[in-house]
Every structure is written in structure tokens, then in C-alpha cells.
Structure 1
Amino acid sequence: ADTVLLLPADTSLHDNDSLVNAALKVALRHSNAYLYSNIWLELTYHIDNHRFVRDTLDIRLADVYGRWLGSGFGASYQREVTVSPAAVVDITRPVALRHIMRVDTLQGIEQVGIEVVR
């Protein structure tokens, strides 16, 4: 699986401009073509120059009856989950996100993103 690198802020910031106690969220947009009720993701972000956090996420996209949990209309749904309500994130470094499903190519995944909220 390919890794998506997302930069949450301007790279001209200094190391001491890292956010402390920020909510870290992952958003995912998918269509009806997605075959599974969940998605496994690996999220990696830096705390500082020498330390990083790697998290494994199991994001539920559908309930036990197969109804999509995300908001949206038509054939596209968006699901947003809070990974950590109080994370220390160095916003000058990219956040890495990749799926760790058992298949290489996931049909129906349209967009993925992160949000760092003070």
C-alpha cells in the first residue's frame, strides 16, 4: 500500500511551534463501491525531531446491517473520527497515513485527510 504524506502546516515554522494538546482527526470519503464495513489505517506523526507516534486505527464505515455510518448523500459518504483528543503533533513535519488492509488496491476510497485542531 502506498503511504500518503500530509503536511498539516507551513514548513517555515520552527520546531517550538508544535501544537500541544491538539485534537488529531482522520477524515475519509468513500463511495458505495467500497466492499468492506471498516478500514484499517496506520497513522504516523512526529512529536519532535527524535520521537514519533505510530497508531493503528480500525475505522468503522458501516453498521452491522451494512448501512454507511458517514454523512453524505448520493454515492459518496464521509466519515471523520478523532484519533486522539490531546495529541502532541509537530506540525512542521508530514503526517503519514496508509491503509493496512489485506488487499493492495481498495476500490471506492475517494479522499483521505487529517485535521489538527487546537
Structure 2
Amino acid sequence: MKTVDQSVLEAFDIMWGLYPEPVLLVHACRDILAVNHRAEELGISTGIKCHSLYPSDRPCPGCLANKMLKSGQAERKGSVNNQTGRFLDGYWIPVKGVDKVYVHLGNDITDFVKPELLAE
């Protein structure tokens, strides 16, 4: 598994530790380096590939990590989870000054989405 400096892990915890949705700190190779408290509650742990949560042996089809890593700019994508019908607002955010590491999260915004968007 890839590693990062302890100061990066501490900064991640300070910023995202209590965020109400699961948040992952991920390396470009898709190793999960750190998770916030909500992700821990859901059983997500470090040391696994992020795409294994879905489960898959390769990056998810809608993943924007490669695009974000190439451009160095944050990416955002909304999607409907076909299994739950929930609308997720996903983000891939590069970590400033840390090569090949990013924050990934998805906010469940179903309660704020127009019903006609969920029907699509």
C-alpha cells in the first residue's frame, strides 16, 4: 500500500474527520490511505482499493480521478445509485502539494433534487 506523510493524514482528519458523509483520502493507484469517521462507521477501511467497495477489480466507469489527476483541478459528477435510488454528488479533489493524492467524497443530496431528475 502507498503511504503519505503523517502531516497529510493529520490534516485530512482535521478537515474531514467529522464530515457527515464518507470521505476517502486516495492515492492515484486507488489505495485508500485514510477515511473519516463516517466511512469507518460504514465499514470502509484503509489499505484497500477504492473500487473494491463496489465491487470491482478496476476503477469504476464513472470515476473522474484520472481526469482530475491529469488536470490538477477538482472534478464533480452527480449520479443516481440504481440500487438505492439515492442521488450522489461526487467530488474528486487534488491535495495541494501532495503528488498523486486526492480526496474523494459523495454527498447524498436526494432530498434536494427535483423528482424529475431522479426519474431519468
Tell me which structure has the larger Cα radius of gyration.
1
Same structural fold, with TM-score higher than 0.5 when normalized by the shorter chain: no
Structure with bigger strand share is 1
Does 1 or 2 have the higher relative contact order (CA < 8 Å, sep 6+)? Answer: 1
**TM-score, with length taken from structure 2:** 0.29
